[in-house]
Chains A and B, each alone.
Chain A
């Protein structure tokens, strides 16, 4: 198998060049799918017999929540690449993934509690295992960001955060199962959960699916954009960045 593409992508310069070609396409597809999903979800989903129009919030919530689960695995993979192959680009991606992941987790929590405020009559409910484990994933992402900002040596910070991401990834999985178990044992009579509720017909999951695609595209685009920014910052002394800046 030919690995040159992998190494090429690993160099900041060619990543920058490659993504310059991809970005217009990605952004176009993302904008179209996002608009379509939003319009469909917020205007055309019929009211659920049990939850009424709140399922429309759920479309966004489910898509963002599903996507935010991808961050720790992503950071763990990037961390492994940083520690084993010492490719600087992996750390740049990981760094931005942590910040983005924290925002995604926050939006998940916010939309979740918005939905909860209607369905449960309260903004926060400890009996929903998903929200609780998302809360701790949020905390762990903030911990990675905090560790990064506490270290002033870039190289050390990269390795330390890479390691913490790998540990955190394993931990998030354990937390997820522990919290679910805890819920089952502790509170047998939990209120309406988010998953097993009525909203599961095709009129619901089709726009959700589209939304998931749109959110993943949004994630990819924002990650690429912030990584490009980071590349320009870290490589500001390199010849090609200077030429690029002089040309613009």
Chain B
């Protein structure tokens, strides 16, 4: 039997295959897709009830509320990222495929963000209206969430990869992940609030973009290493 040297799948096609597979799984499990979205809606609607009904006060807190709701929604959605693959053994297959694990992790992260993060971003202007966010802040909110939520997913992926083998995950994922999201939260909310007072939106988006690039470059490496530790 000749050694296998030809016909090995390219990294690009393996990336696409993994992306398609995860999207296919998500399309068959509509709940996984819908729940983060519902969570975002509900949490954001709780604030006016608990904090204030005054439009002016709502305006003041809306940027922060929207960002924190998006942050929590993305965190809650993370748990499903590697769990079923860990339990049914697909993760071991992924670790043992000849392609760099970095790209496979990136494919899984991308598909996960597309089904759980993107819907939240898309619906955010509607919730922003309900929370009396000034109309000129809709675009900054939308753009900052669009650039910022993938960073949350990439960071969350590290936490999930570290904890996927644990019997009782409980809140440990949140304890690990939430402190790491502070920089995104800072510049995400600033990007929504500051342009109203004359600051340049592009600057904040650039910083968020830089965070996204850094996260794309580094976070999947950490996730891949964490997966190798967890599958053992």
Touch A–B, Cβ below 8 Å: yes
CA distance A146 to B176 in the complex (A): 8
Q: Does B229 contact A (CB under 8 A)?
A: yes
Known A160-B229, A163-B162, A163-B226; contact A150-B183, beta-carbon cutoff 8 A: no
Q: Does A242 contact B (CB under 8 A)?
A: no
Known A160-B226, A163-B226; contact A140-B162, beta-carbon cutoff 8 A: no
From B162, B175, B182, B190, contact of A186 by CB (8 A):
B190
Residues of A within 8 A of B180 (CB): 140, 167-168, 171
Q: Does A174 contact B (CB under 8 A)?
A: yes
Residue of B with least CB distance to A158: B229
> What size tier do the contact residues of chain B reach?
20 to 34
CA distance A178 to B218 in the complex (A): 18
Is A146 touching B175 in the complex (CB atoms < 8 A)? yes
CA distance A178 to B183 in the complex (A): 6
Residues of A within 8 A of B225 (CB): 83, 163
Known A147-B162, A150-B168, A156-B165; contact A174-B183, beta-carbon cutoff 8 A: yes
Is B229 touching A143 in the complex (CB atoms < 8 A)? no
Is A167 touching B158 in the complex (CB atoms < 8 A)? yes
Residue of B with least CB distance to A140: B179
Is A185 touching B194 in the complex (CB atoms < 8 A)? yes
The tally of CB-CB contacts under 8 A between chains A and B is: 69
Is A170 touching B218 in the complex (CB atoms < 8 A)? yes
Is A167 touching B222 in the complex (CB atoms < 8 A)? yes
Q: Does A136 contact B (CB under 8 A)?
A: yes
Residues of A within 8 A of B229 (CB): 156, 159-160, 163
CA distance A168 to B175 in the complex (A): 12
Residues of B within 8 A of A146 (CB): 172, 175-176
Known A150-B168, A185-B194, A186-B190; contact A139-B162, beta-carbon cutoff 8 A: no
Residues of A within 8 A of B5 (CB): none
CA distance A160 to B225 in the complex (A): 9
CA distance A50 to B34 in the complex (A): 58
CA distance A186 to B232 in the complex (A): 46
Residue of B with least CB distance to A144: B176
Fill in one digit per residue for A166-188: 1 if any B CB lies within 8 Å of its CB, else 0. Answer: 11101100110011011001100
CA distance A59 to B182 in the complex (A): 29
Is B187 touching A178 in the complex (CB atoms < 8 A)? yes
Is B179 touching A143 in the complex (CB atoms < 8 A)? yes
Shortest Cβ gap from A7 to chain B (Å):
25
Shortest Cβ gap from B30 to chain A (Å):
31
Residues of B within 8 A of A186 (CB): 190
Residues of A within 8 A of B199 (CB): 185
Known A143-B179, A147-B172; contact A160-B222, beta-carbon cutoff 8 A: no
Q: Does B45 contact A (CB under 8 A)?
A: no
3 nearest CB pairs, A to B? A178-B183, A139-B179, A159-B229
**B interface residue numbers (CB < 8 A to A):** 158, 162-163, 165-166, 168, 172, 175-176, 178-180, 182-183, 186-187, 190, 194, 199, 211, 218, 222, 225-226, 229-230, 232
**CB-defined A-B contacts under 8 Å, sample of 30:** A139-B179, A140-B180, A142-B175, A143-B179, A146-B176, A147-B162, A147-B163, A150-B168, A156-B165, A156-B229, A156-B230, A159-B229, A160-B226, A160-B230, A163-B225, A163-B226, A164-B176, A167-B180, A170-B218, A171-B183, A174-B211, A175-B179, A175-B183, A178-B186, A181-B186, A182-B186, A182-B187, A185-B190, A185-B194, A185-B199
14 extra interface residue pairs, beta carbon distance < 8 Å, beyond A174-B183, A182-B187: A142-B175, A143-B175, A146-B175, A150-B168, A153-B232, A156-B232, A160-B226, A160-B229, A164-B162, A164-B176, A175-B183, A178-B183, A182-B186, A185-B199
